[in-house]
Amino acid sequence: MSQVKKALVTGAGGFIGHHLTRYLKEKRNYWVRGADLKKPEYEVTQADDFRILDLREFENGREACEGVDEVYQLAADMGGIGYITGNHAPILRNNALINLHMVEAARLAKVSKYLYTSSACIYPQYLQKKADVAPLKEEDAYPADAEPGYGWEKLFAEMATQYYGEDYKMDVHVVRFHNIYGPLGTYDGGREKSPAAICRKVAMAKEKDEIEVWGDGLQTRSYCYVDDCVEGIFRLMQSDYHQPLNLGTDRLVSIDELVDIVARIAGKKIAKRHDLTKPQGVRGRNSDNTRLRQVLGWEPRTSLEKGLEVTYRWIQSQVSKKVPSLAMR
């Protein structure tokens, strides 16, 4: 009988970390330790060992890494465009401390594999000025012009992870997320991302109603469902590829189109009230999945409509619990 592998998932109290913990337990038969500032908000963790740890403190990182084979570093101070554009200094400081401490702790613990989760926010702003943006290839990251705060730290941490791989012969992997969404994620309070925010607004709307949309609605993104995300993370971790790799879909949609899809799922006629004073990020961003297909022989398969259907129904159920009168809408 083969020995059960042991994994550490940091950020296991958050959205993707919680889904990854469940995936490693249910699909891959791992023993999993979770570490975060908090436990998952909407569902009990499946981690075998969950520890409340502030990973900005180095000794907590050492404790988290003790006795595990693989480290999936998802812990981060993050949120939607409203949050990351208004908190550059704390985000950069918190995430830099977490990432430097975790990769060093993993080195000292002699873990066999280490994965760092980066973001499409590292891509240059000068390549994302048009809504019909060309898909972003991994090599497009340089010359660098990342998003302020959050994006620059992500790019720095990518380099730090790769330097550790080179200098200490660590088996490191770097993945760049492109707008991951799905159920069991933040949908209100200011840290939610656009799919969750739109689902919440539509869930709270009447059958014929108007919702606020940040920006003019013509800005574009590509979106990746969380089940595909965690599958891709695991496949990359088991591969022999050590350069940064995109993980997303290459279907480009506008924010207005996203609203229309959610409205159809909800069976509501939703008008849009655009607020040009609110942050909207880069004009367009799309993932080039050419290398993802080459390296993993795989790419995300869940359609945006199918993924949003599951996400909307879950957010609708959460909203209805808080405001019972909305349950009949």
CA angle 71, 297, 118 (to 5 degrees): 40
Q: Are the C-beta atoms of residues 220 and 285 closer than 8 Å to each other?
A: yes
Catalytic site residue from 83, 116, 150, 225: 150
Is residue 132 classed exposed, middle or buried when 0-12, 13-18 and 19+ CB atoms within 10 A define those classes?
A: exposed
Domain boundaries, the chain: 6-180+223-247, 182-222+251-285+302-328
What fold, for 182-222+251-285+302-328? UDP-galactose 4-epimerase; domain 1 (3.90.25)
pTM, entire model: 0.96
Report d(CA 61, CA 124) in Å as an integer: 31
Report d(CA 18, CA 37) in Å as an integer: 13
Q: Are the C-beta atoms of residues 10 and 21 closer than 8 Å to each other?
A: no
Whether 312 is catalytic is no
Report d(CA 318, CA 329) in Å as an integer: 14
Select the CATH number that applies to the domain covering 6-180+223-247 from these four: 3.30.9.10, 2.30.40.10, 3.40.50.720, 2.40.180.10: 3.40.50.720
Report d(CA 38, CA 47) in Å as an integer: 13
Report d(CA 179, CA 146) in Å as an integer: 16
Residue pLDDT tens, the chain, 329 long:
568 999 999 999 999 999 999 999 999 999 999 999 999 999 999 999 999 999 999 999 999 999 999 999 999 999 888 899 999 999 999 999 999 999 999 999 999 999 999 999 999 999 999 999 999 999 999 999 999 999 999 999 999 999 999 999 999 999 999 999 999 999 999 889 999 999 999 999 999 999 999 999 999 999 999 999 999 999 999 999 999 999 999 999 999 999 999 999 999 999 999 999 999 899 999 999 999 999 999 999 999 999 999 999 999 999 998 877 665 55
